[in-house]
Structures are given as structure tokens and as C-alpha cells.
Structure 1
């Protein structure tokens, strides 16, 4: 049975605190389910930004997209996330991964080891374990069920971990991956998860909505393949039909997009959210 569509905005910058709160309220007004904050040294500190966003809204969920496990203390992080869960009234999603493309540089700037791919997968598992434990500990102020856990990945090792532990899996494929290229990671996840696969919510992040590339893409890289799955073009109805077909064929029901395209995707959100 197909899951209902949800939509999220990924954002992590604002000129001032008032603008950040306005971003959160705008996301809520447009019908987005979540405001997701990246974990980099060039964006707002995610847990602080999420707390501010939660206090400015009433139903919007807040989440990380995604926390880089290599430079986080798992037990301290779980304690802070438990506090954020409490302060947000339970409107929290915990996204975690092994680190984005530039995470190695951030780890070096923070003075912490980045580790091998295998070590980073183990660190993701450790973060998830500590988060689960924080909500099972009778000595804390929070209780189960706790927040859903999102794992971002596309490689076999991370997908195997996600199949075992995640509530949500974000397909972290390169932005020029064609739609056909989504089948392999979904297939790995299905094989690894077995009967649990139907309980997992599948997610994908859009790089672009419409014909104009995002402004942060370097000039020489602005030509995106016409069949890139991360680019959504056409009328709102045509874009909605594309997402409906992907849900039917691949199970992807949770769609996220950079805040720059929040208004461009809003008509699609209106057509599909909760359906």
C-alpha cells in the first residue's frame, strides 16, 4: 500500500533571526510537512535553528538533513535531540548519515577524525542506537515513541544499515542520476529490509524545480541532464503526475526540495500532500 505524500524544505541560511522564523512559518503556510536543516559549518547550527523554527510554528516538523555522524558525540547528541523533541512538542525527525561530500573538510576544521567509510557507517549506527536509548531511558524527561530516524545513503553498506534501523530512507544519489538509476538502491533496500520494507518511508531530494537551475550551482555546471530524477519540470499537474508515477513504481512518497524552490513546488504540494 502506497504511503501518503509528504513534502519538506531544506534550508539553513537567513539574513537574521526574524527571517529564519519567517522561513519556518512560510513552509508551514505552504503545506510542507517539515523544515530540514543541513549539518555544515557554512549553515546555521542545525539543532539551534530547528529549535527556533519549532517555536515559531505550530504543526511544522523540524529535522536534520542530515547530521554528520563522524563529528558528533553520539550520547551527547542523543541527549540534545531528546531535549529538542520535548521543546518541539514531538515535532522532530532525526536525519543522520556518514557525511556529505565536503564533510571531510568540516571534520578537519573541527579537529576530529573523519574515518573510513566503514567507520562512518558504524558511527551512524552508534548515533541511532543512542537516540533510541535516550527515549527508552526511564530516567529522562522524554518517552517513546520518540522521533522517526532518517538515514541518507545510496551505497550497499549504508542501505543495509538503513534497512535494519531507519524509519525513513533518503536516496542520496548524485543529482544527475536518471530515474532508472533509482531502481538499484531501492532494490538493495527492498532485499535487505525484507518484510520491513513496507514500513520504511522512501525520500528523495530535488535539486531543481522548473527550467532555471539553482543560483548556487557554478556557471559551468548549470546544464543538467534532461532525465535527471532530481530535476522536476512541467506544469504543476505534470510534475505531480511524475511524482505519482515514482510513488507507484518505486515507493518514493517523501519529497524534499531546497527552500529556494519552495514557492515553485507549492502548487504540487497542494495537489499531492496527504494523498
Structure 2
């Protein structure tokens, strides 16, 4: 029996990465619309100097609606563990348990671009481990902040298996369906961990802050990549159901630009 066969089938849930554009009022309206459409989680990218800081932005979103909120994802290359853990714990307290901490190594070279010292892959993983450990200490016995870890290679996967509540796989855009399926199925089923998928493109559109601007959607479809979903809601719903059945993905994260397009999918599948 393979690992996927041993995993419990989780109900679907859907998150939206909703960076703030130039118009704050429009962003607030978008957050309310996302909540009204049945999405579970409002997420913010960790891109200092490009977007307002995650902490105050998510606190604002949580005050506007009853959505869960989360980081997608804290970049360990940019962050010291103690401070990140304290911010995450504080958001859990202020939202009364509606915060989810997403954390990953961070895009290669992002710290150098921002004028910070280079951080090795090993140090990035160490920061991720130390951040989760500090968060558990701050939470104590009365609070458990869910941790979603972005993973790629075997070392980060092993760390997630040890300390995370959920994982999202950093998938190369040129991976086809078979490669992605094998990559996820190789992730051990020793613990019941939620499998999330970062969907960078829908139809012919690419989500802001979820992929590079030159991502070729036609090439993704030709490769049968799972980084993309159809823009037709019926086809998208069918594909999402297939991905849970064949691979185990149950948490799907899309860009805010596609929240209205896929709202019928959320209405049909959320919680099922």
C-alpha cells in the first residue's frame, strides 16, 4: 500500500493570496468579497519593501471578516526565529486562533537583493526549525498555531514531517503531472499532515507574487503541470477533485485575481 492510500481524505479548503495594490479601499472590498465567497484563508506574501508588513496587514484583514489569515510564506532567509515566532504567536492571540503560520526557506538570493547577508540553505532550515520551536514555547499548552511549511528537497521535507501541521510543495514549473504525483507520494504518511498546493496560474493569467511574471501558461498546459488550473469552474472543480483522489491535495491556494473566477468551485467543494 502506498503512502497516499494510507492518508486520510481531508475536506477541501481554499486560500487566497491577496497582496495590497495601490488602492487600500479596493483591497478591503476584495477581502470582504473573498470571505463572502466561502474561502477559508486570506494570505499575505513576505516581500519587504514591496508590500506592507505581514503582521499589521493580516491583523487588519482579520478585523474586517471572520476569515482565517496566514503568511504565505514567511521567508526564513529574511527573518530571525525569535521575532518571527513572537509575531506569529501575537497574531494567533489577536485573531483568537485564526492565524496560520506559513514558513519556508525563501526565494534564493532574496536576502542579498534586500541588502542582507547571504543565508545558506542549511541556515535557512535551522531558522525554520528554531522559529517553530519558539512558537510552540510562546503558545504554551493553551494555544496551537498551525504551521504550514513550504518544502522542496528531502531535508526540508524531513523537517516538515517532524514539526509542521501542513506542507506545500515548491514545484518546478516544468514538472508534469507524473513528476508532481511521484514527488508528493514520496512524502511519508507517518503523520496526518495536510497537503496544500500553491496554484500560480489560472487559465491564461498568472497570480501576482505567486510566480515570476514570465511564466508561460501555454507551456504549463502542454506539460500537464499542476501549477495551473483551468479558468472554467466546472473543469477546475473536476481537476481539483482528481488531485485529491490521486495525490492527496486538499488545500488549494490561488491568487486574489482569480478569487471571483473560482468562487463557484469553492461554493461546490469547500468542506466536502
Q: Return the TM-score normalized by structure 1.
A: 0.87
Cα deviation for residue 46 of structure 1 reads: 1.1
Give the number of aligned pairs.
259
Q: Does 1:67 align with 2:67?
A: no
**Match 2:195 to one of 194, 202, 208:** 202
Q: Indicate how the Cα distance of structure 1 residues 119 and 233 shifts in structure 2: closer, same or farther if over 3 A, else same.
A: same
Q: Does 1:225 align with 2:229?
A: no
Residue pair 1:159, 1:188 contacting (<8 A) in 2 also? no
Quote the Cα distance in structure 1 between the aligned partners of 2:239 and 2:216.
24
Residue pair 2:206, 2:215 contacting (<8 A) in 1 also? no
Quote the Cα distance in structure 2 between the aligned partners of 1:34 and 1:163.
22
Residue pair 2:19, 2:45 contacting (<8 A) in 1 also? yes
Residue pair 1:159, 1:185 contacting (<8 A) in 2 also? no
Cα deviation for residue 239 of structure 1 reads: 1.6
**Match 2:123 to one of 119, 122, 127:** 119
Quote the Cα distance in structure 1 between the aligned partners of 2:215 and 2:12.
34
Residue pair 1:35, 1:61 contacting (<8 A) in 2 also? yes
Q: State the secondary structure of the residue aligned to 2:251.
A: strand
Cα deviation for residue 133 of structure 1 reads: 1.0
Q: Higher relative CO (CA 8 A, sep ≥ 6), structure 1 or 2? A: 2
**Match 1:2 to one of 5, 9, 13:** 9
Task: Identify the residue that residue 257 of structure 2 maps to in structure 1.
Answer: 260
Q: Does 1:32 align with 2:39?
A: yes
Q: Return the TM-score normalized by structure 2.
A: 0.88
Q: Does 1:93 align with 2:93?
A: no
Q: Indicate how the Cα distance of structure 1 residues 219 and 130 shifts in structure 2: closer, same or farther if over 3 A, else same.
A: closer
Provide Cα deviations, 1:150-176, integer angstroms capped at 9, x if missing partner: 000121111111111110101111233
Q: Structure 2: state its 5+ residue gaps.
A: 1-7
4+ aligned runs moved over 4 Å, structure 1:
215-220
Q: State the secondary structure of the residue aligned to 1:114.
A: coil
1:1-275 aligned at under 5 Å gives the runs 1-41=8-48, 42-58=50-66, 60-101=67-108, 104-105=109-110, 107-108=111-112, 110-136=114-140, 144-190=142-188, 193-194=189-190, 196=191, 199-210=192-203, 212-214=204-206, 218=213, 221-226=216-221, 227-233=224-230, 235-275=232-272
Cα deviation for residue 232 of structure 1 reads: 1.2
Quote the Cα distance in structure 2 between the aligned partners of 1:85 and 1:163.
22
Q: Indicate how the Cα distance of structure 1 residues 220 and 48 shifts in structure 2: closer, same or farther if over 3 A, else same.
A: closer
Quote the Cα distance in structure 1 between the aligned partners of 2:199 and 2:248.
16
- Larger mean CA deviation between 144-153 and 171-180 belongs to 171-180
Quote the Cα distance in structure 1 between the aligned partners of 2:47 and 2:228.
24
Q: Structure 1: state its 5+ residue gaps.
A: 137-142
Provide Cα deviations, 1:79-135, integer angstroms capped at 9, x if missing partner: 22222111112110000000024xx23x23554333211111111111111111111
RMSD of the TM alignment (CA)? 2.0
